[in-house]
Structures are given as structure tokens and as C-alpha cells.
Structure 1
């Protein structure tokens, strides 16, 4: 139906005229050919899966591997990275059981729902401080720079015990890793820089125990400094960029749908469900990849041993067979089953913390600034089409200063 060599580019595109919708071609594939051949940038012949049911099927099937050395990636630039190597010790997200299970079990105790909810008061304090700073600065401001970026940055630094004075360098390094146009050598160097920093931080925590996630792993496990450094780097990347972009593009989506913003203001009890709907509707992670460990039939198509399968998160979360009228943002919608955080054994470990941050930061922004609106025309908002995680590079907003403190 479509040129297999062109399909990988669809994963990082959006519908013309709407920065929130997947491209029409991706939705058409989901409806007509939900398992379709795709040629990866390195020339590998694999598959693209786009329906909600089949995406969940792939992610839950242990015949599909997430081992780094088996995967081919749809992102541009990966074709020049050379022969992939097995994941380094600690890089549990690129492993299968039993190695993945061992690391995941150690980390699960640090990311329980109860523990993450204990962070609510701290997230509220950090959020209030940034709202105060925005008000003192006065309009207009870039919401990414002033609000959506700093909040997750501070939270993840405190979660891991990273001194806040190091955050700016941390963010710069992570942005190099996340850019689609970063050369492979540059991405490898940036990851090495982050791991070197985390290794020094681990050594500090061995000498001076601390009450944070990284400190807990240092004291409660027999993991090596190298393993802990890699785990710290993975948690930093996963905990910062995705949440920062969800807060920013979530605010943009609500400003673009004033009827739904009115619903959120009028029904604060809907906040939890509203966040889930924004996660479904926006789907800032374009997809994830698995490799078949044996011949597997999915959706009537035979996936051969060794072939990579990319699942499209935006296409799955907009599947009308699972979510009626899926291209409409509806904060009252039942959202159970969305795959914004993945599915199966690799489902996002920090999803509860991300939820806490969004549930606090998004409604607090509109409570403090009820007249908040875009400071530039929508077509001038720079979208992150050049990044692995989708969102906005900046979001200029303004408000009526005289009414900025109204309830």
C-alpha cells in the first residue's frame, strides 16, 4: 500500500495543519493494513504495527525481544551507528528476562504508587515557586523555559539526589542524546558524559548515604558503580524529557481546545482523567521496537525470526476500535488501555511520578493565570519534529497581568 522505505519517516510526522494528530497516512495504514512491511533506515526489512489491539499484543508477547543488539531502529541516523552491541550492565530497558527482571525488581521498590504520591507535596511546592517566578517576571514568557522544563528537571534531580546546580549541564547533555539530527558519535559521547557524571554521584552516595532513589539503590543492592551510573542515566532521560514535553504540549492542546479547558476548570475532580486523556491524545513517544525471537504470526502476517517490529503509539492511541471518536480531545472520555506508557514488562517504570507532575502542574498553571493564552499565532509555535520525544521547542504565552492572581 505504501512505500516500505518511506514508512519510518511517518513515525515522526503529524497531520498537516494540526500538530496534535498523527499523519493521515499512518491512520490509513492502521485502518487498512495494521501490520505492514517497513524498510528501516539501515536497510533492514521489518514491520510496522499500528492498531491498538495488535500493538498491545506485540508488547505483551515474550516472543518479541527488547535486547538492544537484536533491534533495528526507525530513527534517522541510526543506520550509521555500526553493529549494535549487547546492553551494558544496568541498561535494563534494553534487556529481556531474567536480566531485566532482576533490575526491574530492584527498582520497583523505589517507584511504588504510594512513594510517588508522597512526592505530591514536593511537586506542588516546586510548581508554586515557578508560578511565582512567572508572575514576577510578567508576560510574555516561554512556558518551556519558565515552567514545563524546570519542574521535571528539579523533580528528577531530587529523586536521584543530583545537585540542582548541575541541572543546566544535565539538560544540555540530555538534549544532545534526544535530538534526531545528532550524529551517532555525538549521541554516544553525550551518553558517556552523563554516565561519568552519574558514576561520580554514586561514589559520593557510597561515602555519604542519601534518602533518594539512587541512594536507596546504593545502600539496598549489590550493584556496581557502573551499573548504578547507567541506571541513573536511564532514569534521568526517561523522567525529564517526556514529562517536560507532556506539560508543555498538554498546555498547548488545552489552549487550542478552550471548551475542554473550561471543563477542566469547572470540574477539578476530572484532573486525573484529564491527564490520561492528554496522554492518549498527544502520545509524545512515537513508538518502540521489538525483535522476533522466533517466527510469530501477528494480525495474519508472518513475522520471521530476527525481524524488527516497530509499534506506533500515536496510531494505537487514536484507534477508533478502542477509543470512539479518537481524534477528539475529550477530558471526560474513559481512557483505560491507552499505551502512552507502553505495555507489558517494559511499561514505563516512572509513570506514577509523571502522572503526579502532570496532575499538579497543568491545572495549577491555569488556576494561577486564568487569562493565559498564546502570545504568537499557532503556526509560529516551533514543534519538536527533530526530536525523539515530541512536543514544543518553545511555547510563548501571555496573560492579563491585572487578573493573573484571580482564583
Structure 2
């Protein structure tokens, strides 16, 4: 109860002191406000960019490792003709991995072909991506179904001519909204629409989206394309890792060992397949934005430093103006820690108000329309802004508060 009364009393003193010198208070707040705004604005922009870029790369899958012919990053010392001579992954290898892999939560095999034309009556859509999938595909990659359903196991096994189409494709081919149950044509073959994906919208980097994608059973896909021809689509085996597998290292090692055994590679022979991890892109993105975040700290620190000196200055002036009151409080029995807490609370209160104003400005910035980039002020950044403000107030106010607490009550009362 005593502590609560002390906090209330300190709040009253702080509020009255700030009201009495409103202009001086506002000018002192500017440094902290600008500093917190600069830091949190940069962090908000960085976090939003990182989030949007990672969402743009969602077509690669989350915590997914791919087994395919070509690596994503080429080594200069590796002869290009060795990549060409590598065999493609195939359905038999997928089934072998499905039986032996233990470090994956789900596996699938798929193949893609771009630049496809889809027709329905007199309507058509050019440049869409066609993907042949197995039943487990939606356990590895996100296939959000907005209307209808996903493939059944029987439809996949029998390679039936059924298709799940993207939101934009359904909207263009069937403007009346009657896509489900109707037929579309892919390379001259008729496919019955059983599902429509949810609208994903435009991505920041204009990466592939399910809005412009068609999914058919894996066997039906290779009715249209020769799987083993040199120029034909390349099957890709994908495995989803467990959350506990940081960096997907265990899954990668498991896949490499089993693929080498399946292809009969001797210990001295090099891999004739590539293992690509989506985590590599995520790590590159995170490391890049870490540098930007450091730049934000440097930029904002100068403003916060100026704001800290401003708060320290106003606290020294406040101690001088209220020396007589401090003497009276001490003569009436006020302890040193009460005087210390009173002025320290005032400094923290002043700095926190400045930080709060800076956060409000950042929040207002999130309403600016930046197209596909959505700015979001997270709870983490709000907590960081208020925490830094309180810390600056504590550092700036501790010396003036300590000087006030050490004043001799007799000398303080006699001061004018």
C-alpha cells in the first residue's frame, strides 16, 4: 500500500512539473520521439519487408527440402556437363524414399510445366503453370482450397482427368461462378474441375501464385508429357521437415544417404542429384535484413542520445527549481529513496511519453498504401520502443535524482 501511494505521489509531482513547463517539456520530448520513431519505423519496415518476401517465397514451401537434378546455386569449379548427365528423379525413387525416410513429416513428388493455355468454351487463359501432384502434395506444400475439394486417393492412383484450378483462372474462364463440375481443356484433353484455390493475391516479388496455377494427378500430367525425355518436365521429390530439425540438417543427411543407396553410388563417387533447401533463402533474407536493422539502430541512436541529454538537462533544472520543496519533504520525514524515486519516475515518465508519441507516428505510417507491401507494427516492436524509452529515461534521470536525494534538508529549505 505504501509503495502504491509513493507511485501515485510521484506521478502527481511529475505531471504537475511537466504541465508547469509545457514548452520546455515538448522540446525535450522531441529527441526521444524522433529517435524512437526512427528505430521502430526502420524495424517495422524491415520486419514487414522480410515477412512479405518470405510470403512471396512460400511457393517453395516452408521447411521443405527438394531432391532434383539441378542445384539452385552453382559452383564455378563444377563442370556444367556433369549436371546435364545426371538422371532425373522419378516415381520409383519417390516410393523408395517414402518407405525408408524417417526424418520427414511428409513426402511428395511433383512436376511442373509453365506457359500452358487453359480453355473453357470460348474463354481461355494463357501463361498458367500446370503441376502434376501425388496425394501427399498438400501435406508438403500449401494448396488452399476455397471451393470444392482436393484430390482423392483413387483419383490420383487412377490418373483421372480432374483438376484443381486457381482463383484467377476460375474467375476468367467462369465469370458466372459455375466452375465446379464443368470441364476445361488442357493440351486438348478434357478435365473436370473439382476444386478452386483460395485467392492469394499479388506477392511483393511477383512470384508464382496458386491463383494462376492448375493441379492435376501426377499420372494425368504425364499423359500429356513424356517424363523421361531430355526436354520433358523434371519430376522433383520434396520432403517436409520437422519443426525440431533446425536448418533441416537431419532431413538433408537422411535424404542424401537413402538416395545414394537407391542409385547405387559408391563412397568415392559424387552425388548425381542436388538437394536444395528453402531454408537457404530464408537465411539469406534474414541476414540481409539484420544489416538493415543495425543501420536503423545507428540512425536512431543519435536522436535518442540528443533526447537523453535533453531529459537530463530538464531534470537538473527541475531539481534546482524544487530544491526548497525537497528540503521541506525531507524535514517532514521523506526518505532519500522516496526523493530518488520521485525524480527518477519523472524522467522515465517523460521519456516514455516521447517514445509513445514516436510509436503513434509509426502506427499512423502503417496506414500508408504501399501496394503489395503491408506495414504491420508488431507487439515486439511496441515493447522494444517503450523499453528503450524507459531505459533512456532511467539513464538520463539517475544522476539528477541521486543529487536530489543527497541534498541536506537544512540547506535545501534555505535555498530560493
Give the structure-2-normalised TM-score.
0.23
Structure number with greater CO (CA < 8 Å, separation at least 6) is 2
Q: Say which structure is richer in strand.
A: 2
Structure with higher Rg: it is 2
